[in-house]
Amino acid sequence: MKGPLRALSHRVSALALITAVASLVVTASSGCSTSRDKQAPRHLTYWEKWTGFEGEAMDAIVDDFNAKEAAHAKADPNYAPIEVEKVTITKIEQKLLIAIAGGNPPDLAGHYSFAVAAYADHGALTDLGPLLAKSGFDRNRYIEHYVQLGEHRGKTWALPLVPASTALVFNKRLFQEAGLDPDHPPTTIEEFDAYAEKLTKWEVTLPSGEKQIQSGYLPNVPAAQKRLLQAGFLPGEPSWWLTGWGDFFGGRLIDGPDTISTANPANIRAFEWVASYSNKLGVGVIKRFRSGFGNSSSPQSAFLSGKVAMVLQGVWIHNYIEKYAPGLRWGAAPFPYPADRPELAGTTHAEADVLMIPKGSAHPNEALAFMQYASTQAVLEKLCLGQQKFTPLVSVSDEFWRAHPNPYIRLFRDLGVSKNAVNIPKTGIWNEYNRELGNAVDLIQSLKQPPAQALAEVQEKMQAALDRDTKILALRQAQ
Amino acid sequence: MKASSLDRANRRNGLLFCLPWLIGLSVFLIYPLCAALYYSLCDYSVLLPPVFIGLDNYAGLMRDPLFWKSLGNTAYFAAGSVTLGLLVSLSLALLLNSKVKGLGLYRTIFFLPSLMPVVASSILWMWMYNGQSGLINTGLHSLGVNGPAWLADPLWSKPAIIIMAVWGAGNAMVVYLAGLQDVPTSLYEAALIDGAGFFQRLIHVTIPMISPVIYFNVVLSIISGFQAFTQAFIMTGSTGAPERSTLFYVLNLYNVGFQDLRMGYASAMAWVLFVIILLLTLAATKLSQRLVTYDR
């Protein structure tokens, strides 16, 4: 047995030696050639979440940057150009964390603004403050709301790249069919509710067996004799901002860094309003009606298929309409406010795509150089035009407005700069909070729990979670 | 007595041959198990070093209504899918064990669903369960029955997922079929001579003879039942909607660990699940000592 084994081990050692020598030779020769001709490029890995046309818009920016760097290196042989490699990553929120935890993060990452607080609290990000200070960063170039999305606990962790806001989006054809003026969308919640009633249509089976189309909520017609054809408004459609209805009534989910305020009166009022739609239409009717919809980015979605006349939607709705419902005549307006709270006019959910440097990034300075490039007005306008959104900067060129395909882009931008632009609470427990609240809204919409009770339960639970989180943060700082 | 050099060589070679597996077992199973046990005693967010907090996570679990809710949902699903799965796959195996024309075709048809990836079948069933235009409700409507909203109805969401699990019972069916074909025909002939009918033969011959196979399948389905995740994650989302009726244990664990980054708490949940599955398997083994016959 020993003979062949020994022979094998000799052969393995010989192979290892040859490989090592060969790799040394290759490395040495490649080192020679680069030092003789030009500086080796500085490679920068950049993870980005977008695919499709948004991803292509970002690709164009990366290509421009790489070309500019290559030109610089050509002009100055002593300059080592930065070479950005953009990698498209789905489910970035989890993969990025795992990469950071595993000690092998990308040098730069494109993420959503609502993730900043949790990432920062968990020590997953590089504090941009010192880097930005050295680079002469001017915070005032940005719209205040969007630049503060990257800040948390007094430090800057991310820079806004492509912002978004939400508005009331409505179907003009359905407005006209219901006898409503599509040029005068509702401005108050009360008006909005009246519009929603007129835009609700049923197929009613009369005692004679004849079928008839009727509008309104028809409280006197039994459920078995009516089938919902079109809803004026459903609070759960689309479901993205289900937990954010309180914002339009002046409610806030968090009150300062240490207090959860789910059950404040404005939130209760908002969710009573949400529940009123379940009462008017019927819980079972809504469930069955909604189950016929496709997802939001498909022609079968509630709004694009003309089944729901008014929705709360983001600036990207224009892209969906162009792609899935090209002929749809639509309008946008600020989402209504309660008549007794006119100061809430212009309330919008405003979030942004952000660029961040993960903790452990091997090239933070190069990452910052790309971030600086991507934050110049010309580059941001090219990117935001490509993604068909507005820019996060205060200054906007006339050319940008002229070239923009979204007819309501100025409205969405105006909402973004409004004093009532609100964002997801900056807390490390947001994921947990969002799930709890989602469940509470589920119970409220199905009329299983009154809003005051459901929200109070969430508040109690989340206050305990926040206290736990604060305690752990303090414990970590003490260590 | 000293071991001969051949013995030593054999032992060494044996170990060498086992080594890849031993390394795999230690690196991918034993180490993670022990690490999870340690992390379950810490607050650990993966990104920062763990902070030791003793039994706080376990105490927190006992007070956590979501823990109990998800455990209840999972027990409901496991009980439903194990019993219904057993009945359906055994009945199918009995039917397919008879001598009829086109038997191979039938066997293939009933086995096919189990080959489908869970993600694909979940999406397929989402369409079938669509309350408005789904195949199931359309079928029920033609029978004059107004079907429920299935996945959107907290009362029906779990049964819906159980039905889907039973649809993929082809694997268990094949194992039963193999067991059935192993039953000696002489026993059936003896039973027939004694005048036993179909049900008497089933209860006194077939079931005792395939009891080891039943035991094996039941244990496997308990384990997979308690680990249900993908169906709910795809069909009803990570919140376990509607009203958390499909928030299964592993889904809850995933939320806590990978969304909230509370890996310590998630590790504690994983260990509790491990102990539950271990106890259930031990109970099944205990029960099997009375009910399973290995004699031939």
What does the DSSP assignment read for A450-471? -HHHHHHHHHHHHHHHHHHHHH
Quickly list DSSP for A220-266.
TS-GGGEEEEEEEE-TTSSGGGGGGGGGGGT--SB-STT-B-TT-HH
Residue A237 has pLDDT above 90, yes or no: no
Q: What's the confidence (pLDDT) of residue A316?
A: 92
- Does a structural domain hold residue A239? yes
Average pLDDT, chain A: 90
Per CATH, the architecture of B60-291 is what? Orthogonal Bundle (1.10)
First-last CA distance in chain A: 57
**What CA–CA distance (Å, rounded) separates A301 from A312?**
13
Domain shared by A209 and A332, yes or no: yes
Give the CATH number for residue A445: 3.40.190.10
Q: Cβ distance B67 to B269 under 8 Å?
A: yes
* pLDDT reported for residue A29: 44
Neighbours of A374 (CB within 10 A): 23
- Residue B1: per-residue pLDDT: 54
Same domain (yes/no): A97, A83: yes
Residue B5 Cα, gap to closest chain A Cα (Å): 11
pLDDT at position A352: 97
Does pLDDT of A88 surpass 70?
yes
Which pLDDT score, from 0 to 100, does residue A238 have? Answer: 87
Q: What is the pLDDT of residues B206-249, one digit of tens each?
A: 999 999 999 999 999 999 999 999 999 999 888 888 889 999 99
pLDDT band, residue A28 (cuts 50/70/90): very low
Helices A52-75 and A377-386 meet at what angle, rounded to 10?
150
Pull the structure tokens for residue A226. 């009516």
Q: What is the mean pLDDT of residues A348-354?
A: 96
Nearest CA in chain B to A443: B243
Beta-bridged to residue A355, according to DSSP, are A110, A159
Pure H helices in chain B:
5-25, 31-39, 56-63, 65-96, 103-111, 118-128, 135-142, 157-167, 170-181, 185-193, 198-201, 207-226, 230-235, 249-254, 263-291
Tell whether A231 and A255 lie within a shared domain: yes
Q: Which of A150-154, A274-278, A448-452, B284-288 has the lowest mean pLDDT?
A: B284-288
Would residue A207 count as lying in a domain? yes
Residue-level pLDDT at A37: 56
Looking at residue A98, its pLDDT comes to 86
Bridge partners of residue A230, in order along the sequence: A201
> Who among B153, B238, B259 is closest to A287 (CB)?
B153
The DSSP secondary-structure symbol of A393 reads: B
User: Using the beta-carbon criterion (under 8 Å), do A448 and B48 form an inter-chain contact?
Assistant: no
Q: Looking at the 3D structure of chain A, how many domains does it have? A: 2
Shared-domain flag, residues A194 and A303: yes
Question: Which residues from chain B sit within 8 angstroms of residue A475, using beta carbons?
Answer: 43, 51
**Min Cα–Cα distance to chain A from B173, Å:** 33
Query: For residue B169, which phi and psi values (nearest 5 degrees)?
Result: -80, 10
Interface contact flag, B47 A442, Cβ < 8 Å:
no
| Facing B243 at nearest CB: one of A94, A98, A448 | A448
Q: Are residues A367 and A313 in the same domain?
A: no
Chain A positions in Cβ-Cβ contact with residue B45 (cut-off 8 Å): 122
> Quick check: A290 and B152 CB within 8 A?
yes
Is the domain of A275 the same as that of A405?
no
Q: Are B152 and A287 an interchain contact pair (Cβ–Cβ within 8 Å)?
A: yes
Please state the φ and ψ torsions of residue A241, each to the nearest 5 degrees.
-110, 25
At residue B283, does pLDDT exceed 70?
yes
Which comes out higher in pLDDT, residue B47 or A160? A160
Q: To probe the interface with B, which of A431, A447, A449, A467 has the most B CB atoms within 10 Å?
A: A431
Which positions in chain A touch B43 (Cβ < 8 Å)?
472, 475
- When pLDDT is cut at 50, 70 and 90, the band that residue B3 belongs to is low
Q: For residues A168, A172, A174 and A179, what is the CA-based torsion angle, rounded to 10 degrees?
A: 110
Q: What residues make up the domain containing A88?
A: 42-164+351-417
Residue A1, pLDDT score:
41
Handedness of CA B141, B143, B146, B150 (dihedral sign): negative
Contact A202, A215 (CB under 8 A): yes
Looking only at Cα atoms, what is the longest distance across chain A? Answer: 100
> What's the mean pLDDT in A435-457?
94
The DSSP result for A90-117, as a single string, is SSHHHHHHHHHHTT---SEEEEEGGGHH
Confidence of residue A25 (pLDDT cuts 50, 70, 90): very low
Q: What is the pLDDT of residue A36?
A: 44
* Element housing A159 (H / E): strand A158-164
Position A258 in a domain: yes
Cα atoms in the Cβ-side hemisphere of radius 13 Å centred on B126:
19
Q: Which of A417, A436, A453 is the endpoint of a domain?
A: A417
Q: What is the mean pLDDT of residues B53-77?
A: 94
C-alpha span between A472 and B11 (Å, rounded) = 51
- Global pTM reads 0.84
Fill in the DSSP letter of residue B183: S
Binned at pLDDT 50, 70 and 90, residue B258 comes out as confident
Contacts of A476 in chain B (CB under 8 A): 48, 51
Q: What is the mean pLDDT of residues B82-92?
A: 94
Q: How do residues B112-133 score in pLDDT, each as one tens digit?
A: 998 989 899 999 999 899 887 8
Identify whether residues A182 and A301 lie together within a single domain: yes
Contact yes or no for B271/B37 (Cβ under 8 A): yes
- Which residues does A contribute to its contact with B (CB < 8 Å)? 1, 94, 97-98, 100-101, 118, 122-124, 284, 287-292, 359, 429, 431-432, 435, 438-439, 442-443, 446, 448, 472, 475-476, 479
| pLDDT, tens only, A65-80 | 999 999 999 999 999 9
Q: Using the structure block, give the residue that is written with the tokens 């909604």.
A: A290
ipTM rounded to 2 decimals? 0.78
Burial of B191 (C-beta count, 10 Å sphere; 0-12/13-18/19+): middle
* Residue A407 pLDDT greater than 60, yes or no: yes
Pair A194, A290 in one domain: yes
> What is the percent of chain A with per-residue pLDDT over 90, rounded to a whole number?
76
What is the arithmetic mean of pLDDT over B30-41? Answer: 95
**Partner-chain contact A442 B46, CB within 8 Å:** no
Under a CB-based contact definition with an 8 Å cutoff, are residues A313 and A167 in contact?
Answer: yes
Separation in Å, CA of B1 to nearest CA in chain A: 23
Mean of the pLDDT values across residues A424-451?
Answer: 93
Identify whether residues A178 and A90 lie together within a single domain: no
Cβ contacts of A94 on chain B, cutoff 8 Å: 258-259
Would you list the domain boundaries of chain B? 60-291
**Residues of chain B neighbouring A439 (CB-CB closer than 8 A):** 239, 241, 243-244
pLDDT category, B259, cuts 50, 70, 90? confident
Higher pLDDT, A8 or A461: A461
Residues of B in CB contact (< 8 Å) with A are 9, 13, 43, 45-48, 51, 130-134, 149, 151-154, 238-239, 241-244, 255, 258-261
Contact B132 A291 (CB under 8 A): yes
pLDDT at B134: 87
User: Quick check: A289 and B132 CB within 8 A?
Assistant: yes
Residue A183 predicted with pLDDT over 60: yes
CB contact under 8 A, A479 and B244: no
* Cis geometry, peptide bond prior to residue B184 (ω within 30 degrees of 0): no
Instruction: Tell me if A228 sits within 8 A of A202, measured CB to CB.
Output: yes
Is 80 exceeded by the pLDDT of residue B181?
Answer: yes
Total residue count of chain B as it appears in this document: 296
Distance between A250 CA and the closest CA of chain B, angstroms: 26
Q: Give me the residue from A100, A292, A479 closest to B133, CB to CB.
A: A292
> Comparing A460 with B261, which gets the higher pLDDT?
A460
**Do A142 and A100 reside in the same domain of the chain?**
yes
Q: What is the pLDDT of residue A294?
A: 79
Q: Are residues A398 and A432 in the same domain?
A: no
